[in-house]
Amino acid sequence: MKNLICQKCPNGCNLALEWENAENVFIAGNKCASGIVYAARVISKDNKTRIHAREETPLFSRETLKAVAGLWQVRLKKLHHNIPVQGSPERSVFRVVLEDNSGKFFLLEQILPKSLEHKRQIATTLDFLAKNNLARIQPYMADQKGEFIRKHKNNFWQIIPFVRGVTLDREKYMYEKWRAPALADFLVELRRKSGYLPFLDSCKVFSLKDYVYKLIREINLYNKDIKDEIKDIAFFLEKDFMPAYEKLPVAFCHGDYHPMNIIWSADDIKCVIDWEFSGFKSELYDAANLIGCVGVEDPQSLTGELVNSFIANMNKAGFISKTSWKYMVEFIVALRFAWLSEWLRRKDSEMIYLEMDYMRLLIDNKNSLQKIWL
Ligand code: SF4
């Protein structure tokens, strides 16, 4: 028996690995299938070792999961602990793919009690948008009383039909032009279909500006080694962008729109997932996050066909004001503070310095990027 801490997300599950023989290992303690992928990477250097999840996990028995699925009239036939699930594992306490008696697949997730209200709001929003005919989303399932979240023995659960996708090739995708219209169409449709969301308070607007300043204050206190570099970046933002920030139009945004939060088919978007940060934000938010995330994979792609065609499609739709477009580079830089915060939280020095290099690259190339994009 060997124990391993999974480092794929902050949950840090304690993985127990038990060798049946040289090629077969059983895993326990993982709260999601990403733990299996992580363990395979660590122990299976020759790619010959197979890692298997047991039907019974120490976390929840089959009987428990069967009872939970039954709350939505889903009749459990088989648990698929080995099927990896896209989207950040830290959004739930535990998640597993299951198959029902008719061969349909579902994703069952246990959620933290403290996130109940937030999760309910996300489920209500997705349900509303789906009823408003927004395509490429998958709403959570409601039980017979219309509840999206159910309690079972002190634990809270939600369930959603499981969508399988084609794995994104992270070496190539950022140059694939065909993805651009789909990425732009989704944002345009989201804007059209989210103009009226009666259950959300449109006065509650996330301020990226406040977020950046708060993080800078924390960096000045706890990360003194990078505070000078951050001061330079803040200086760039303070020239024009920060004073203009409040004037930028606001819209309902996905909040974490990037290609890894999308389940892709071979030629289109199947489903946009992970709505954890959705809400009212500056209208540039999703477009800027997308471009920033594509560019961080390979900065050359910032002027590649995917990004250029995405911007052209967004421009054609005319949903983003000229004023907002003017601040695209600054907005991407400001948004990278959210990613920097994540690397600081994980104490990942390599990513912290990579992120700051990326911000610097965006700042240094602002004029040429603007010329190409606008
Ligand atoms: S939740 Fe999944 S990804 Fe996160 S630490 Fe546990 S096994 Fe790893």
> What does the pLDDT look like over 295-319, one tens digit per residue?
999 999 999 999 999 999 999 999 8
Residue 209's CB is within 10 A of a number of other CB atoms, namely: 18
Task: Give SS3 for 174.
Answer: helix
Asked whether residue 54 carries a pLDDT value surpassing 80, the answer given is: no
32 lines ligand 1 (CB under 6 A): yes
- Which one is predicted more confidently, 18 or 55? 18
Residue 154's CB is within 10 A of a number of other CB atoms, namely: 6
309 lines ligand 1 (CB under 6 A): no
91 lines ligand 1 (CB under 6 A): no
> What does the pLDDT look like over 152-202, one tens digit per residue?
999 999 999 999 999 999 899 999 999 999 999 999 999 999 999 999 999
Taking the centre of ligand 1 as the mean of its atom positions, its distance from the CA of residue 182, in whole angstroms, is 30
pLDDT of residue 55: 62
Asked whether residue 53 carries a pLDDT value surpassing 80, the answer given is: no
Ligand 1 atom 6: the closest Cα is on which residue? 13
35 lines ligand 1 (CB under 6 A): yes
Say what percent of the chain tops pLDDT 90: 79
Over residues 117-133, the mean pLDDT reads 97
Taking the centre of ligand 1 as the mean of its atom positions, its distance from the CA of residue 110, in whole angstroms, is 13
Roughly what angle, to the nearest 10 degrees, separates helices 208-222 and 328-345? 40
Asked whether residue 108 carries a pLDDT value surpassing 70, the answer given is: yes
> What does the pLDDT look like over 225-252, one tens digit per residue?
999 999 999 999 999 999 999 999 999 9
Which residues are paired to 107 by β-bridges? 97, 160
Taking the centre of ligand 1 as the mean of its atom positions, its distance from the CA of residue 254, in whole angstroms, is 24
Asked whether residue 57 carries a pLDDT value surpassing 70, the answer given is: no
pLDDT of residue 16: 86
Q: Which atom of ligand 1 is nearest to the CA of 7?
A: 5
Q: Which domains does the chain have, with CATH numbers?
A: 2-53 (no CATH), 62-161 (3.30.200.20), 173-373 (3.90.1200.10)
Q: Which of 10-19, 235-244, 339-348 has the lowest mean pLDDT?
A: 10-19
Residue 54 and residue 18 in contact, taking contact as beta carbons nearer than 8 Å: no
Over residues 341-350, the mean pLDDT reads 92
30 lines ligand 1 (CB under 6 A): yes
Of 9, 17, 109, the residue with max ligand 1 atoms within 8 A of its CB, to mutate for a pocket test, comes to 9
Ligand 1 atom 7: the closest Cα is on which residue? 35
47 CB-near residues (< 8 Å, 6+ apart): none
Spell out the alpha helix ranges (H) of the chain.
34-43, 62-70, 116-131, 179-193, 208-222, 227-239, 241-244, 285-297, 305-317, 322-326, 328-345, 349-364, 366-373
CA 279 to chain centre: 14
Residue 222's CB is within 10 A of a number of other CB atoms, namely: 9
Sign of the four-CA dihedral 144, 145, 149, 154: negative
* Amino acid identity at 374: L
Residue whose pair of structure tokens reads 């104490």 in the numeric block: 347
Ligand 1 atom 4: the closest Cα is on which residue? 9
CA distances from 281 to 2, 23, 27, 292 (A): 46, 50, 42, 17
